[in-house]
A and B are shown apart, each in its own frame.
Chain A
Amino acid sequence: MNMIHTREKLVVIGNGMAGMRTVEEILKRNAPRFQVTVFGAEPHVNYDRIMLSSVLAGEKEVGDTIINSLAWYGDNGIRLFAGDPIVAIDRQAKTVTSESGRIESYDRLLLATGSRPIVPPIAGLNLPGICAFRDIADVDQMITASTQHRRAVVIGGGLLGLEAANGLMKRGMSVAVVHLMDTLMERQLDKIAGGLLQRELDERGLNFFMNGQTEEILGTDRVEGVRLADGREIPGDLVCMAIGIRPNVDLAKKADLEINRGVVVGDDMRTSDPNIFAVGECAEHRGLTYGLVAPLYEMAKVCADHLALEETATSGYAGSILSTKLKVTGIDLFSAGNFNGGEDCSELTFNDTGRRVYKKVVLRDGHIEGVVLYGEVTDGGWYLDLLRKKEDVTPFKDGLLFGQAVVAAMGQVKPASVDDLPADYQICGCNGVCKSTILDTIAAKSLSTLEEVRAHTKASASCGSCTGLVESLLKSALGDGFQKAAPAGMCKCTSLSHEEVRRRIKDERLMNIPAVMAALGWSQADGCSSCRPALNFYLICAWPGEYQDDAQSRFINERAAANIQKDGTFSVIPRMWGGVTSAKELRAIADVVDNHGIPTVKVTGGQRIDMLGVPKDRLPAVWRDLNAAGLVSGHAYGKALRTVKTCVGSEWCRFGTQDSTAMGIALEKMTWGSWHPHKVKLAVSGCPRNCAEATIKDFGVVAVESGWELHVGGNGGIKVRATDFLCKVETDAEVLEYCGAFLQLYREEARYLDRTAPWLERVGLDYVKARIVVDAESRKALYVRFLYSQQFFQNDPWAENSKQEAPNSEFALLATVDA
């Protein structure tokens, strides 16, 4: 049949994830069949809505969310009208009309209009400062608000609301979450898991108002807060509505298609009009609508079959079993299926309250009916696979909760290896990519990197939780040809990681830098300016009493015990214990400033005094004069303990509950002189008003009536991070012990140049709690090692260095030449 005919016209209403995935699937099956025209309401190309949570949290950029660039539309001959929504469908004439008045005829029409945020019928909705959490415009509004305002209220404690709340908190806002129910994410979690989640988020700083029915939004010119039905009022400058979503069926309704909650479709994704299909959140299938991505992609495949291969398509959509994960960094939870059980169901539960790990598997007739995991989710995919296949788990029921590895060890299933997974095993839940698709694409396109696999298959391109599996597949496919991208070596001189280097320093008793470089095969004899200071620190930490510090491997500031400035002069900051000084010290400082002609004197953020503009050759004389008045080095220049900021506490303050100043001084006396992977700052506040800002310090102490709250991992620098709550202790001695133990853990295990905040995020608060709070022996051992090390390092470098006024010291000129 050589007849030439014009291509059929497919019009797609909706430029979102479901619509464009369907188009991609059509292109794979039968690209020449259709002339595709796409109308989208948003003025953007197709982007990954799921990733907006990461954009809001500052972990990704908007650009990272783009699925298909403008070039993709062009390359595939797709006409895109972005920012021009369709306003009417004429089913008789088979045309659609856009807002701008464009009329387009179709042979086949695909509805992928998605959903709309649910807005409750309450007063005050017209005020500026209210947003949803649905699209790029919402995220832009939230990010802008976070730079101009302090407090946000998120209405809705479901998946969407919590991701919005977390993102706003990470942007520095104080966030309250109002939730109608008494359990967070009650559609995905049972009460116990919901409780664990609430506790975790509460400790991170979110404020929860449970059983809260929002009645009114308050404000005159802008939102000022919300009022709940029980009278509670919550102040806020931004209100984010994240109650839920509702299928967007307006067009279908006007066109008189059959609708219920969503646009009703059959198993072939066809609506009541055989020329019109619907996919995604706007579609209702067998009485269910879906708001997660995996079902949308399953629908897209079936829909593409019937559009592209109409005559021969046999596939049918049979509904989806949902699994969920929360995109909040550091929180692991997973749920799938019917996890609330019911008649004929039995439950297996595991609840480790210390580690906050909770697992529940609901069984019916020997197979898994539903699962909830909190804290440990590695086996989520395995449970989901067993659930989908309705596999009989009775033979290994005893080991089920302990995961696939234990069951494998029991000899009941084969050990987990990607090679053993069936071809149709779904690797990427977000994008619905199964094992065979990934392997086939790797072979067909000769892919060799994770990025390429992501680009070609979308596997692990959304939430990223299956990255490890995708890498394993790539490795299995390429064998020796596979090169894992991360983790890179410490620096260009070695391929060994920081951890590996530290381990071998200890194991092989390497006692100096040349020995480390020789034993570990350093590629450059001297190393470089990155690895030398790191190795110097690792050796100090490993062998405190034995290692001979290498001055030439220290950055100039630590070598000169002062802070280099842009003009090559130095700044000098003496220690002021706990921020307390005296007339005598201030006079001495004034005299030093006068006698040495120091141009600038400034009060620092760490409650001390900075003298700026001292030429290097004058440093020894300046120090000698400061030493004479009892002032010692503040280490304001080092990867070391800097300051302990305090408030005046119960000695003066009418609100103070404990003597925070004395506690600060005690901490500083214990910790000064200690070297660390990076600078370390402490603070002690005398009451929860927290005037010493202890919750943005590496180790913060906040006094309460009955003792001291300990907080860790805060940072006020480039990326502000509030501390995580470690625990509460009762006695002063305990504060010192926990502080010493925490600092020693950080010294021993963080990578050089990691502040405590990124280190803590990497290892997890649970790990730190396990080592410091739960395991008392571990804590005491760390504390002892810290104190042991301190006996070698609590020497004032100024006193030592000012002895170096000798002619050949670092601080003297080698020569003065008259040329």
Chain B
Amino acid sequence: MQDIVMDRDWLDVGGVEEIPLRGTRVIATKSGPVAVFRTTDNRIFATRDRCPHKNGPLSQGIVHGTRVTCPLHGWTIDLATGEAIAPDRGCVPTIPTQVVDGRILLHVTQSGR
């Protein structure tokens, strides 16, 4: 676990390398777990760890492209928008992230749009 560095609203939650390629790690927050995804092209996304369908842990799904497929019933979610891929309909709150010098920064006040 990392020491948390506060920089106004951006929080350092760890290094990019700590998440496997096409993998996910979980961050515990006061308002529930957040899933942080790393795609093949090293982009980082974060969403609430809760599928809009039946609250399945998206962090446990398979990451492909900029999408994740929920392990419970196979809904696929677009990581950039949080929207379910049609024909399913639903949306998971996303959390802005940025990568600075290999560190993942999470925007904490926007803990869900």
Which B residues contact A (CB, under 8 angstroms)?
A: 1-2, 4, 11, 13-14, 18-23, 25-30, 36, 39-40, 54-57, 60-65, 69, 71-72, 74, 76, 106, 108, 111
Contact = CB atoms under 8 A, between A and B. Distances in A.
Contact of A814 (B36, B62, B108): B36
A817 B106 contact: yes
Interface of A: 524-529, 532-533, 551-553, 555-557, 560, 564, 566, 568, 616, 807-808, 810, 812-819
Contacts of B40: 525-526
Contacts of A533: 62
A762 to B, nearest CB: 24
Given A526-B40, A810-B23, A813-B27, 11 more contacts: A529-B74, A552-B21, A552-B23, A556-B62, A557-B71, A564-B57, A564-B71, A814-B36, A815-B1, A817-B11, A819-B11
A560 B36 CA distance: 18
A556 B54 contact: no
Interface majority SS on A: helix, strand, loop or mixed? loop
Contacts of B63: 526, 552
Nearest to B69: A529
Contacts of B28: 813, 815-817
Select the residue from A526, A560, A815 with max chain B CB neighbours within 10 A.
Answer: A815
Contacts of A524: 64-65
Contact of B27 (A525, A553, A810, A816): A816
Contact of A553 (B4, B62, B74, B108): B62
A818 B4 contact: yes
Contact of B62 (A529, A566, A568, A807): A529
A532 B40 CA distance: 14
Nearest to A815: B13
Given A564-B71, A815-B4, A819-B11, A528 B27 contact: no
B72 to A, nearest CB: 7
27 contacts: A524-B64, A525-B40, A526-B39, A526-B64, A528-B65, A528-B69, A529-B69, A552-B23, A553-B62, A555-B62, A556-B61, A557-B71, A560-B60, A564-B71, A568-B55, A568-B60, A616-B60, A810-B23, A813-B25, A814-B14, A814-B18, A815-B2, A817-B28, A817-B30, A817-B108, A818-B4, A818-B30
A812 B23 contact: no
A555 B20 contact: no
B21 A813 contact: no
Contact of B76 (A529, A556, A566, A807): A529
A560 B61 CA distance: 11
A448 B71 CA distance: 39
B54 A566 contact: yes
B1 A555 contact: no
A491 to B, nearest CB: 11
A526 B65 contact: yes
Nearest to B4: A817
Return the 5 tightest CB-CB contacts between A and B, nearest first.
A814-B25, A529-B69, A556-B60, A568-B57, A552-B22
Contacts of B2: 814-815
Contacts of A560: 60
